[in-house]
Amino acid sequence: MRLATWNVNSIRARVDRVADWLERADVDVLAMQETKCSDEQFPTMPFLAAGYEVVHCGFNQWNGVAIASRVGIDDVAVGFDNQPTWSDKPEVEAAAEARALGATCNGVRVWSLYVPNGRTVGSPHYVYKLQWLAALRETAQNWLTEDPSAQLALVGDWNIAPTDEDVWSVQAYEGSTHVTEPERAAFNAILAAQFTDVVRPFTPGPAVYTYWDYTQLRFSKNRGMRIDFILGSPALAHRVTHAEIVREERKGKAPSDHAPVLVELS
């Protein structure tokens, strides 16, 4: 089975490209992030035409996560237990954002995750990001405690570069989110909870990235960050026979600023 994750940066702007890649890359399950639309606006038809079922969680033009599968989608869950809430405005009650969607596809419990960006270090949104990661770690740890043999895939845009090797320039990101010690500690806590980066062994660094800013010719200069990950539980990790970051999909007409990340399971 071939499982992938991709921050698509608006599915409405890119659905033809995404559906085309699904078929070309022979993908069975794709988790998407930043669909940037409501459920009503989500373009389902191109996925159906390509032979995929698709589930989506989107409340407005922000965030949005989805899973497309041609091997079944069962037990769909919108959000995870204890998922922190957020509100930009005092007059609006805090609510869970469209950042987590779970579904079981051919025996694999897939979670499409869009970790909060954090915006600026020390801001309320940064605090929220750290809370969100801590809550995810707690919940994911419980899943594994309940069933140590569970095949779990925590995939998506984590908005963290776990090591200095995962950014094109440490200096460029000095004082910025994505590289701070608390963010890296929050990511490492999930690794410590028995989830492993199943892609890295097949895509060793340095200078291996999954995201490149649109500005300043960052892609052509390969000035990016590695922030999109597929983390597997022990039972899932043992099945991984191949992985790749599909840089080709960052090229061409109207690309997302992220490349898809793909694993093959035995």
* Annotated binding-site residue numbers for Mg(2+): 7, 34, 157, 159, 257-258
Q: Would you list which residues are annotated within the binding site?
A: 7, 34, 157, 159, 257-258
Extract the tokens encoding 35. Answer: 């669909």
Which residue number, 52 or 219, has a Cβ lying nearer to DNA? 219
CB of 173: closest distance to DNA in angstroms?
A: 13
Query: With binding defined as CB under 7 A, does residue 10 bind DNA?
Result: yes
Q: What's the sign of the alpha-carbon dihedral 66, 130, 197, 234?
A: negative
Query: With binding defined as CB under 7 A, does residue 88 bind DNA?
Result: yes
Instruction: State the Cα–Cα distance between residues 87 and 111, nearest whole angstrom.
Output: 23
- From the list 135, 232, 131, 130, the residue with the least C-alpha distance to 181 is 130
Distant-in-sequence, close-in-space partners of 264: CB < 8 Å, separation ≥ 6: 1, 2, 240, 241, 242, 243
| DSSP H or E segment with residue 137 | helix 124-146
* Catalytic (active-site) positions: 114, 157, 258
Query: With binding defined as CB under 7 A, does residue 125 bind DNA?
Result: yes
Query: With binding defined as CB under 7 A, does residue 84 bind DNA?
Result: no
Q: Which of 20, 53, 79, 119 is in the footprint of DNA by CB under 7 A? A: 119
Which residue number, 158 or 195, has a Cβ lying nearer to DNA? 158
Distant-in-sequence, close-in-space partners of 249: CB < 8 Å, separation ≥ 6: 6, 17, 21, 255, 256, 259, 260
Query: With binding defined as CB under 7 A, does residue 130 bind DNA?
Result: no
Query: With binding defined as CB under 7 A, does residue 2 bind DNA?
Result: no
Q: Which residues bind DNA (CB under 7 A)?
A: 9-10, 12-14, 36-37, 41, 60-62, 88, 116-117, 119, 125, 214-216, 254
